[in-house]
Amino acid sequence: MTELNSLTINITQSNTAKSMLEKLPPPAREWAESLPWEQRRYVLSLCHLLCAASPEVQADFLDSYTADGLVSRMLEDRDAQQQLEKYLRRFYISTEINQPVLKTYVRQSFIHSSQDLRRQPDLYLESALRLVLSTKESNSVFNYILGFELLKMIFQMSWSQHERLTALQKSPTSFVKNLIKPIQKSHRLNGIIVPKHEKVFFEKHDYFVQVPSIPEKRLIDLVMFTFSIDTVSELGFSIIRHPQSLVFDYEYIFQSEKEGIFTQGFGNE
């Protein structure tokens, strides 16, 4: 009976190993199965190191090992690149989509993923591998770039500009809840805009029209800390899929500030 159980376990393990290899793209599976034992040991060593590493170390490794290839593949997709640039210009964002910018964003997306999935590193590695293996997944970086650039722009708006941007939206309540309130909460917590004497009109006017001044590095950190990578990517995807999902009127939003009563109170907790 013991020998029978041992045989059953060996067969099950063999089937499991085979099914794992079958999940690889055919060229990768053929390459893995063709390796001599000496080289298979190297692959196993790399697998062990990756699985044992922290998400941050995984992010650093995947960036240095894959970023150049990913960027080259993304640059080949001229249609997606031009579409992204078209939407950026629609929002008066001047970021150029070139090799250095793409490489920076690929690395940033790895790091952002590692922060989001700190408690579930296996899911992080899985998402990173999908990015490396799938052309469709790698193109999702374009969605991430658009969403991130938009959030950077909104982070640098005054609360009065937030109010005007919100007034344009088809679902202002949802827009405030999902985007504006998290940003204004971050403004408060990080001492960027600190409301004082909110019920006093002139005091309210001062902080309400204050345009945040945030260094680029800190701005990137704030966006990554405030929003998950999924939220950022979904924002970009929603605009590419439905251009009017974020209604935008530059002249109206960034008009000169005037003395007036601000009744919406979007910054209130």
In sequence order, what DSSP letters do the residues of 160-176 get, joined into one string? HHHHHHHHHSSSHHHHI
pLDDT tens-digit series, residues 26-40 = 888 888 889 898 898
CB-hemisphere CA count at 13 Å for 56?
Answer: 1
Q: What residue numbers bound the domain in which 149 lies?
A: 35-253
3 located within any domain: no
Residue at 266 is within a domain:
no
**pLDDT bracket for residue 71 (50, 70, 90):** confident
pLDDT at site 12: 45
Other C-beta atoms closer than 10 Å to the C-beta of 4 total 8
How many domains does the chain fold into? 1
- Tell me if 269 is assigned to some domain: no
Within a domain: 45: yes
Q: In this structure, is residue 146 part of a structural domain?
A: yes
Predicted pLDDT at 22: 80
CA atoms within 13 A on the CB side of 37: 0
For 200-256, write each residue's pLDDT tens digit.
Answer: 555 556 788 889 999 999 999 999 999 998 899 999 999 998 988 999 999 999 998
Q: CA dist 64 to 28, 45, 68, 104, 224, Å?
A: 20, 18, 8, 11, 21
Tell me the pLDDT tens digit for each residue of 114-159: 776 554 555 556 666 666 666 666 678 899 999 999 999 999 999 9
Any domain includes 27: no
Q: Which of helix, strand or coil describes residue 65?
A: helix
Please indicate, yes or no, whether the overall pTM of this predicted structure exceeds 0.75. Answer: yes
Predicted confidence at residue 54, as pLDDT, reads 76
